[in-house]
Amino acid sequence: MTPAQTLAVRKRIPAAQSFVLRPSLVGHSLSAGVGLAASLVVLFVLVGYVPPLSDAPVGLIAALLALGAVASVVATMWGGPVLAVNPEGVWLRVRRKSVFLPWSSIEQIYVRRLWFDDRVCVVQRGTVEAEIDRYTTPFTASLTYGNQPEPDVLEAIRKHGAGRTRIDF
């Protein structure tokens, strides 16, 4: 059986799971707010110093930036849980779909930090060594922007993994 054959794919992570990590509305809103504030500062600096932009409809541009920030938060929250763990395996949300990996098909689980975001990374068994890149692992879930504290998430993974896969954290 190849690794691709062990994947179960659904639109959303099923509700009845032992441990579920959902996106945090507060975390995503704060992140989008900081990005919006930075964008507005850059916009106002450009409008003040670049003559062709001084006639630009600044209010419209600012409103579009704000709408983009709100849309980003809504899209993130709308997708449902980002990680679920049960005795059979791990569910992860990946690009608008949910993927189930049984414990037997998981080679390794580790945590990596990318900028301000700590992420749980799941490496599938049978992945060629050259494909394992700590910056582009396709099966990841954010710990920073989740609704559960990081130690609780990691403990749930350890508890349910029960020595069936390599866990490095």
Per DSSP, 149 falls in state: -
Q: What pLDDT digit, counting tens, does each position of 39-87 carry?
A: 878 877 777 766 666 666 777 777 777 888 787 777 666 767 888 999 9
The pLDDT value given to residue 43: 77
Supply the pTM of this predicted model.
Answer: 0.69
The pLDDT, as a whole number, for residue 3 is 47
Burial class (CB in 10 A: 0-12, 13-18, 19+), 129: exposed
Examine the domain organization and report whether 164 and 151 are in the same domain.
yes
Residues 9 and 92 reside in one and the same domain: yes
18 and 29 both lie in a single domain? no
How many domains does one find in the chain?
2
Question: Are 67 and 150 contained in the same domain?
Answer: no
Angle 97-103-105 from CA coordinates, rounded to 5°: 75
Are residues 147 and 135 located together in one domain of the fold?
A: yes
